[in-house]
Amino acid sequence: MSNQQQSNMTDTEKNTGTTSTIEQADDAINNYVFPFSPREIGIVTSVSTGIVKVSGLPNVGFEELLQFPNGLFGIAYNIDEDEIGVILLGKDSLLTAGDEVERTGRVMDVPVGDALIGRVVDPLGQPIDNKGAVANRQRLPIERPAPAIMDRNAVSVPLQTGIKVIDALIPIGRGQRELIVGDRQTGKTAIAIDAILNQKDKNVLCVYCAIGQRASAVAKVIANLEEKGAMDYTTVVVAEGNNSPGLEYIAPYAATSIAEYFMQQGRDVLIVYDDLTHHARAYREISLLLRRPPGREAFPGDIFYIHSRLLERSTHLSDDLKGGSLTALPIIETEAQNISAYIPTNLISITDGQIYLSPKFFELGILPAVDVGKSVSRVGDKAQLPSYSSIANLKLEYAQFEELETFARFGTRLDENTKKTIEHGKRIRECLKQQELQQMPVSEQIIILLALKNGLMDNIPVEKIKDAEDALLKNFNNFPDEIIKRLFSDAKLSDDDSKAILKIAGTILAPLQDKPKPDENKDEPKPDQNKK
Catalytic residue numbers, as ranges: 378
| Local structure of residue 173 (DSSP, 8 states) | B
- Reduce the DSSP state of residue 204 to 3 states and report it: strand
The vertex-224 CA angle with 218 and 229, nearest 5°, equals: 125
**Residue 203 — φ and ψ, nearest 5°?**
60, 40
Strands (E), 89-198: 100-107, 109-112, 120-121, 138-141, 179-183
Provide DSSP, 246-301: HHHHHHHHHHHHHHHHHHHTT-EEEEEEE-HHHHHHHHHHHHHHTTPPB-GGG-BT
Buried b (16+ CB within 10 A) or exposed e, 509-521: beebbeeeeeeee
CA–CA dist 109, 95 (Å, integer): 22
C-alpha span between 145 and 162 (Å, rounded): 32
Q: How far apart are CA 15 and CA 9, in angstroms?
A: 10
Q: How many CB atoms lie within 10 A of CB 203?
A: 8
Residue type at position 498 = S
- Cα 192 to Cα 217: distance, rounded to the nearest angstrom: 14
**What are the C-alpha distances in Å from 84 to residues 42, 284, 475?**
10, 18, 69
Task: Return phi, psi of residue 522, to 5°.
Answer: -120, 125
Q: Are 276 and 342 in contact (CB under 8 A)?
A: no
8 Å CB contact between 273 and 351: no
